[in-house]
């Protein structure tokens, strides 16, 4: 009985620009938009500043 040999994979070289910078900028943009949405929602009518501070300190 013979052991099956796996074909060797070719080394992958980076072609073109790497995409990690684009992904990180996308996450940063999403985070900033999320922070703005939370900020605007937190100080909407009906939410006191003390309530927001309590929710932040004691989730």
Indicate whether 36 pLDDT > 70.
yes
pLDDT value at residue 59: 60
Residue with tokens 């940063």: 28
Indicate whether 15 pLDDT > 90.
no
Tokens of 18: 């790497």
Tokens of 48: 């006191």
Residue, of 33 and 51, whose pLDDT is higher? 33
pTM above 0.85, yes or no: no
Is residue 33 very low, low, confident or very high in pLDDT (cuts 50, 70, 90)? very high
CA neighbor of 43 nearest in space, from 32, 55, 58, 59? 55
Torsion of CA 53, 55, 57, 59, to 10 degrees: -170
Mean of the pLDDT values across residues 24-44?
Answer: 88
**Cα 47 to Cα 34: distance, rounded to the nearest angstrom:** 18
């Amino acid at each position: 009985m013979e052991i099956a040999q796996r074909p060797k994979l070719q080394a992958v070289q980076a072609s073109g620009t790497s995409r990690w910078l684009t992904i990180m900028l996308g996450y940063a943009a999403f985070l900033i938009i999320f922070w703005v949405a939370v900020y605007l929602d937190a100080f909407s009518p009906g939410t006191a500043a003390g309530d927001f501070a309590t929710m932040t300190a004691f989730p």
